Chain A
Amino acid sequence: MRRSVCIAVLTTTLLFGAGTITTGPKNVLASAQQKPETTEVKIDNFSFGPATLTVPVGTSVTWTNRDDIPHTVVSTDGVFKSKVLDTDEKFSFTFSKAGTYPYFCSIHPKMTGKVVVQ
């Protein structure tokens, strides 16, 4: 009797464990597909930081204006363009294709940055 209880407990544990192992990665994959990875670029003191950002395809990049002055985020190739961002305002863009995306601030064209999507 005691032996059969032990076997039952062991079997249940194994089944649960196997279930977790098989369903675990699926859940991770599903959540990865639903939510793209987010990376932040800070705009401060008339510069983008980091100036060059390398991200995988599907990443959503968010620019946050931490400066006291309005700025914009405009792609040199016309891929994306933000409205004028006042202090603490954000702009996001999801990069679905690999490539290099140079951008600048249209109010201060000397402010430049680059997103490398791999």
Chain B
Amino acid sequence: MHPFDLKAALLAKHAQHVVLIHFPIALFIAGVAFDFVAQWTRRQFLAAAAYCNLLAAAVVTVPVLITGILAWQWQLEGQRLKGILLMHLVLGCASSAMIWVVSLVHLRAKRAPGAVLPGYRLPLEAVGVGLVTLTGHLGGFLSGVNGPG
């Protein structure tokens, strides 16, 4: 496949999920990093950067989940999953849920006048990063990026 063959890339049943998944991973991890540094340094612009990254991460989980489910339905014809594939699906859903929860916490704090970000968000974010990392590792293993050889 040519790297700039748009038609082949868009029509490939497997391609979109593998491409799109990098966006929520990068945005969420960057958002959490900004939030931790903002908490430590008390700098507002870092908190704003964290907010934008986390919100964007939550938005892009939607196409990622849709393309992941479509890949399952198209490539594997909705077969009953087991093993690594099932773990990847379950952890992917858990990671997405965690990203949404963290983003909602930030969104509520931003919208309510005078509200302060709750302290419990930090352990939530750390758990979220762990889940995302594990899901990404399994995804990489499945696609062959993290595979042997």
Contacts and interface: CB of A to CB of B under 8 A. Distances in A.
B75 interface: yes
B144 A72 contact: no
Nearest to A81: B77
A116 B105 CA distance: 60
Given A107-B142, A109-B14, A86 B83 contact: yes
24 contacts: A45-B148, A45-B149, A46-B147, A46-B149, A68-B141, A68-B147, A68-B148, A69-B84, A69-B144, A70-B85, A72-B76, A83-B79, A84-B79, A84-B81, A84-B85, A86-B82, A106-B76, A107-B14, A107-B75, A107-B76, A107-B142, A108-B143, A108-B144, A109-B12
Contacts, number: 37
Interface of B: 12, 14, 75-76, 79, 81-85, 141-144, 147-149
Interface residues of A, number: 13
A24 to B, nearest CB: 47
A11 to B, nearest CB: 66
Given A46-B149, A69-B84, 16 more contacts: A45-B148, A46-B144, A46-B147, A68-B147, A69-B147, A70-B142, A83-B79, A84-B79, A84-B82, A106-B14, A106-B75, A107-B14, A107-B75, A107-B142, A108-B143, A109-B12
Contacts of A83: 79
Contacts of B81: 84
Interface of A: 45-46, 68-70, 72, 83-84, 86, 106-109
